[in-house]
Structure 1
Amino acid sequence: MRIEISVESPQGVRAAAAAGTARVELCAGLSDGGLTPSVGLIEAAAELIEVHVLVRPRPGDFAYARDELDVIVRDIETARKHGATGVVVGALTTEGEVHDACAAFVEAAGDLATTFHRAIDVSADSRRALDRLAELGFTRVLTSGRRRSALAGAPLIRELAGRTAVDVMACGGVRAANAAEVAEVTGVRDLHAAPRRPVGSALTGDVSYAGVGVPAGSDHFETDPVEVEALCGIFRH
């Protein structure tokens, strides 16, 4: 079983590396669903672990304007130059089909692994989308089976996993407590998780906390190293 941890900081990268994670999905802005990280973070992470860079130019839907699609291609090329071993990317038409621009994404990635992200879960039809991704040469797809959790979406995930040569990675609420069950009911060999915990500010004195969506008294979220270690430990032996 290969475990991928979604992280957005050097601390998260170190936690994943220490636990023996197969790779990280490197992001910025996980509170916004994940955005393209900085070049500096890509370079720092690539020194420690296999890095698959999320390339997503903005929050919201995956129906991008022409200039946004061009930015995605540029960001893929940048990630490749600065140490990434894979990219996580995707785009849909306004009708929910896999956008033809995804062919340019695969071309820009070259020999990098290409994962189509959870845009598949809001596509018009996940089966049709997966077939198109196989035609385009994508390596992997990330899905919760169109449900909030991998366990709830397990029947569709299992069906997709046996449909094409594209590897299917299950996500959605994956934690140490349920990872073995998720693996069993979906039949996949790749699991994706983003275990995080709220942390307070390192500043002393009267601090005005500005973290988005974090509990009162906290400042931001950070990768939870205890949960990452526990999750990876499930499949270590």
Structure 2
Amino acid sequence: MKLEVIVTTLKEAIDAEKAGADRVELITGVNEGGLTPSLALIEKVCDILTIPVNIMVRPHAMSFCYDEFDKEVILRDVELISNTKANAIVFGALDNNNNIDIDLLQRVISKKGDKLLTFHRAFDKLENQKEGIDILSKFDVDMVLTSGGKDSAIDAVVQINKLAEHAKGKIKILAGSGIKATNIHRFLDVCGPDEVHAGSGAKDNNSNYGNINYDKISTLKSHFKFKK
């Protein structure tokens, strides 16, 4: 099991690696759920860190449904990121009916080169998440970030377990949202995602803008030894 930590600055990325994070997700607009960071920041973080760096590609926070102008920006961002040392693209898109935008997904895949792909929490808007797993597993998608359709993954243990079982051998489930050093032990006692994603729960005062907290990351990871 691995721990992915959200970071928004070069310092946060460096601190997260020093604190023991297995991977970082680099974003901007943290209070908006994550937006695409600048190319300069992407290049700098990827050049300095030795752990994998996953990059959010999301042009705005208005919705997960994108018009042709948005799509041009998304595809250009993916092209630019494909030429960096990034590990993966973090992306998700829905159509007007809140189904996976398969056409845009395929276009992103065609531009990402050898980068891995995580389908982000746009997934949580799907009415039928098991069907979503089946669809995504047909494409070059490596992981799904999900809170099980709830605001917090802590409140969606049953659904995340169902998704993890359904996705076994097809695609990895990355559980995120609301997971903290103070509740991860209860979460992992009853929930079996492949990996865990932490944001404010890995920072001082559980704040999106707090400093990376070494003790919290150590506590989060200390519970992984009981999981395969």
TM-score (norm 2): 0.88
The question of 1:185 aligning with 2:174 is answered no
Q: For structure 2, which runs of at least 5 residues remain unmatched after alignment?
A: none
Match of 2:171 among 166, 170, 189: 166
Superposed displacement of residue 163, structure 1: 1.4
Q: Which residue of 1 aligns with 2:13?
A: 13
Within 5 A, what are the aligned runs for 1:192-203? 192-195=197-200, 196-197=203-204
* Aligned partners of 1:170 and 1:186 also within 8 Å: no
Structure number with the higher helix fraction is 2
Superposed displacement of residue 236, structure 1: 6.3
Q: Which residue of 2 aligns with 1:93?
A: 95
Larger radius of gyration: 1
The question of 1:31 aligning with 2:31 is answered yes
Which secondary structure state, in structure 2, belongs to the residue aligned with residue 151 of structure 1? helix
Q: Output the CA distance in 2 between the equivalents of 1:145 and 1:85.
A: 25
Q: Which residue of 2 aligns with 1:225?
A: 213
The question of 1:64 aligning with 2:66 is answered yes
* Aligned partners of 1:161 and 1:188 also within 8 Å: yes
CA shift in 2, pair 1:236/1:41, >3 Å: farther
Aligned partner letter, 1:128: E
Aligned partner letter, 2:132: A
* Aligned partners of 2:93 and 2:105 also within 8 Å: yes
Within 5 A, what are the aligned runs for 1:206-217? none
Q: Output the CA distance in 1 between the equivalents of 2:210 and 2:39.
A: 20
Q: Output the CA distance in 1 between the equivalents of 2:122 and 2:44.
A: 28
Superposed displacement of residue 12, structure 1: 1.1
Greater displacement, 150-159 / 226-235: 226-235
* Aligned partners of 1:183 and 1:191 also within 8 Å: no
Q: What is the root-mean-square deviation in Å for CA atoms of aligned residues? A: 1.8
* Aligned partners of 2:16 and 2:212 also within 8 Å: no
CA shift in 2, pair 1:185/1:109, >3 Å: farther
Q: Output the CA distance in 2 between the equivalents of 1:235 and 1:176.
A: 12
The question of 1:102 aligning with 2:91 is answered no
Q: Output the CA distance in 1 between the equivalents of 2:21 and 2:175.
A: 15
* Aligned partners of 1:115 and 1:138 also within 8 Å: yes
Within 5 A, what are the aligned runs for 1:40-189? 40-46=40-46, 47-48=48-49, 49-100=51-102, 101-164=104-167, 165-189=170-194
Superposed displacement of residue 152, structure 1: 0.8
Aligned partner letter, 2:32: D
Identity value in percent: 31
Superposed displacement of residue 229, structure 1: 3.5
Aligned partner letter, 2:153: A
Q: Which residue of 1 aligns with 2:224?
A: 235
Superposed displacement of residue 230, structure 1: 3.0
Q: Output the CA distance in 1 between the equivalents of 2:62 and 2:24.
A: 22
Tell me the alpha carbon deviations over residues 37-64 of structure 1, each in whole angstroms, 9 at most, x when there is no partner. 0111112211213100000000121011
* Aligned partners of 1:11 and 1:223 also within 8 Å: no
Structure 1 segments, 4+ long, off by >4 Å, are: none
